Amino acid sequence: MMSKKASNCAICDNSNRASICAVCVNYRLNEYNSLLKSLKNHRDLLYSKLNELIAAKGKADDQLNWRVRQSEKLTNLKEKLRRNKEQLAQGKVKIERVSRELKVKYGVLKSARGTLEKNRVEKLEKFYPNLICTQSLGHMAITSERLHKQSVVIKQICKLFPQRRVHLDEERRDGSSGQYDLICNARLPRGLDPHSVPSEELAASLGYMVQLLNLVVHNLAAPALHNSGFA
């Protein structure tokens, strides 16, 4: 509580008595009002600092909780990784064991199969001496017939797609001359140069070659380097 200050008022000058005149009362009220404003500002400042401290503590607590959660997650992940490594090691051991067992069984089966094949051949040679010779002759006859049919088919295919080599003595209008291979009277490109023949003739000759290749591969059952066709 503020102490009463001395004033120039003759009535209220006695410090043991309360102010009774309007001037002194207003003076005292202004003093109290200033004091209240100062205390209110100080209180607001303290509240502001307290709120800042509370917010900072909240952020620190949030960071601490986040670190704790991340630490728990990291611990769980490490434990999960350890279990997975153990399971992987156990799985590898199991696979190696099963692989060894399968190799042993495969060896036994291979040996048994060889023994059975040997016994079969011995029995055939003993009880059916002419069977193997007959089968071999039959296979040879079938192979010979197949080769003959393939030869006939290839000749027919060659008739469908006749090929020959020509030598152009005189230079044509497109500037081509020299030796060329023809298929169905269409010139094939010279070497790997696709510009050695006109584009229309190149398209026709390559189309004939694609058809010829497809027919030959199909009838000879020969492997092709790639699938030929038109885009």
74 in any annotated domain: no
- Quote the CA–CA distance of 184 and 203 in Å, as a whole number: 12
Residue 173 lies inside a defined structural domain of this protein: yes
Tally of structural domains, the chain: 2
Residue 1: inside a domain: no
Residue 212 belongs to some domain of the structure? yes
**118 in a domain, yes or no?**
yes
Q: Does the residue 135 lie in any domain?
A: no
Contact between residue 195 and residue 224 where contact means Cβ atoms under 8 Å apart = no
pLDDT tens for the chain, 231 residues: list them.
444 455 556 666 655 556 667 777 788 889 899 999 999 999 999 999 999 999 999 999 999 999 999 999 999 999 999 999 999 999 999 999 999 999 999 999 999 999 999 888 888 777 776 776 777 888 899 989 888 888 888 888 878 788 888 877 666 666 666 778 888 878 888 777 788 788 888 888 888 888 888 888 877 776 666 555 444
* 89 part of a folded domain: yes
Domain that holds residue 176: 161-220
Residue 44 lies in a domain: no
Per-residue CA distances from 214 to 16, 42, 210 (Å): 130, 100, 6
| Best CA proximity match to 117, nearest among 128, 109, 107, 106 | 109
Does the pTM of the predicted model rise above 0.85?
Answer: no
* Cα 80 → chain centroid: 25
Q: Please, which residues have CB within 8 angstroms of residue 170's CB and are 6 or more apart in sequence?
A: 177
